[in-house]
Amino acid sequence: MATPIPTLTHGEVSIRPIRLRDAKALERELLDNRGWLRKWEATNPYGALSFDVRASIRSLQANARAGFGLPFAIEVNGEFAGQLNVSGITYGSLSSATIGYWVSERFAGKNVTPTAVALASDYSFFQVGMHRMEICIRPENEPSLRVVEKLGYRYEGLRRRYIHINGDWRDHFCFALVADELPIGVLRRWTDGRVPAGAGSVPESERMAARVPGTHPA
């Protein structure tokens, strides 16, 4: 069952449904930020595929109509700034989903990404009815690790060779929150300064394990 995709705003940052008319802006941002984004982009392990921006948007929209995703555009003061996708939505006894995102380099370090993730997390918890939200991040992706640390997404472990990124299977750190932990919501907890100290940090032993393939304890 499809879930409505709203426009959500906090301060200068908004997330809204991505649309076909975003194709030109999206393609421009992807090209202009190629060096910034390439090393974090999901790739096809069976060979390179041509990338059609409009086809990608249509695919996201079809997935949303089937009830499996919520594809958002991120805007700053009305300017296209990136994408956020709530994917893998599962209802029933699992009631979970995953959040993935990117922003253009010029918006990095300005709290755009944590604001967008917090908005999407709260909507997923309190409107869609998700019990658990997950974010998986490459150990080398320090900007993204700072996002989950700010929001207090709890570290849950290292997943070996989890997603095909930039031409190879890459390890990822996994973070999650469950609705029971957040009666006031992700955004309010963060903006009120109530995220528990160290809630989103990765233990140093786990960081060291991620640097040496095959050494992570069972």
The span from the CA of 83 to the CA of 103, in Å, is: 7
- Please give the pLDDT value at position 50: 56
Q: pLDDT per position in the chain (218 positions), as tens? A: 677 899 999 999 999 999 999 999 999 999 998 888 777 677 677 655 557 899 999 999 999 999 999 999 999 999 999 999 999 999 999 999 999 999 999 999 999 999 999 999 999 999 999 999 999 999 999 999 999 999 999 999 998 887 787 778 888 999 999 999 999 999 999 999 999 988 889 989 888 888 876 544 43
Task: Give all strands of the β-sheet with 96-103 in edge-to-edge order.
Answer: 8-10, 13-17, 70-76, 79-90, 96-103, 132-137, 168-178, 154-165
Cα angle 66, 121, 177 (rounded to 5 degrees) comes to 110
The pTM for the full model equals 0.92
- The crossing angle, in degrees rounded to 10, of helices 112-123 and 142-151 is 50
Q: Spell out the domains of the chain, with CATH numbers in brackets.
A: 8-211 (3.40.630.30)
- Please give the pLDDT value at position 102: 94
